[in-house]
Amino acid sequence: MRVPLVVRSLVAIGMAAGLAFGQIPDAAADPTPTPSDPPREIIAAAAPRTVAEAQAQLDQLEAQQSAIEEDYNQAQIALADGKRKVEAVQKQVADQQAAVDKLTDQVRSIALLQFQGRSMDTTVQVFTSSDPDSFLGQLSTVSKVDQNMNDTLQSQQLEQARLESMKRGLDADVVALAAQEKAAADLNAQMVQKVADSQALLDQLTEAQRQALAAAAQKQAATFDVSDLSGSDANARALDAVKFAVARVKDSRYVWGAAGPHAFDCSGLMLASYRSVGISLPHSSSAQSHVGRAVSTSELQPGDLLFWYSPIHHVSMYIGGGKMVHAANSRSGLRIDRVSGYHAHFAGARRILG
């Protein structure tokens, strides 16, 4: 007896459908996007002999910290995007699996009915049927039924192949996320080491040298009162963002990758300040440098963002009177400084509102 096409394919279909749906690793484990550039070079410095040398080495270490912080934030952005993608693909795979399962059940049922119907010779069925005329009338539709069966089988096989392709793509995305997690963890470890290096350098200094460094930092620092903003023609919401940032100086600390409520890194402070007035900013100083519009130093207004280093990896907020507020680094914390005295290369300014 000739076995129909759908029956011959049934075993293969059952094997494909019976494969266990691969377990997908939890995408919400540890964060880890891969930075676009390799970590910045870390340069070991000799022990300082003078306060000036100590200040130069601290500046270098803190610049390295800032660069690593930026890579870390970029990695976190990429990881968040990757996780959203994986979650979306997971749902697509689950929907596709349900569609394949449904088609597989249809093929199995059709194949079983066809097999049962063709197990007896047509002539025998005519003579044994209780209604031979009705049975003969049905024969005219047999070829159409066969075509429908074959169409269903082809659809099932096509959707099964699509499902397998989606699974392979999802597996690749999950592997990429794991690599990104490791990259972010490596950047975090580098930052921890840079902070430890700064502290080790300070520990090498005499008490007099440490006091001289503190005095220099105090000379660079500035005071500010929000009443100084009265009369400014800056955008009202930008002024509220300034007030938010300045208020954080007193009771918040620097933590890389943080954006509040009581800990911030440089771009995190800008993000939180503008978020308080309904404006969304990316958690990255280089990404923030593309938001709003460019302004020159001669037209700065309170609320404008100031960018530092090349490539950009630090951001502060201009608050008026030649002063800025920023989350400086793990040693200095959040502070208000004079713009003209900041040691880093100035890379430009952007106006977010107005």
List the catalytic residue out of 283, 290, 313, 314. Answer: 314
- In 141-168, which positions are buried (b, 16+ CB within 10 angstroms) versus exposed (e)? eeeeeeeebeebbeebbebbeebeebbe
343 is catalytic: no
- Burial group, residue 125, by CB count within 10 angstroms (0-12, 13-18, 19+): middle
Which position has the token pair 């539709």?
141
314 is catalytic: yes
142-204 and 5-18 helices, crossing angle to 10°: 20
Give 49-111 as a DSSP string: SSHHHHHHHHHHHHHHHHHHHHHHHHHHHHHHHHHHHHHHHHHHHHHHHHHHHHHHHHHHHHH
List the catalytic residue out of 262, 283, 313, 326. Answer: 326
- In 317-354, which positions are buried (b, 16+ CB within 10 angstroms) versus exposed (e)? bbbbeebbbbbbbbbbebbbbebeebebeebebbbbbb
The residues that are catalytic are 266, 314, 326
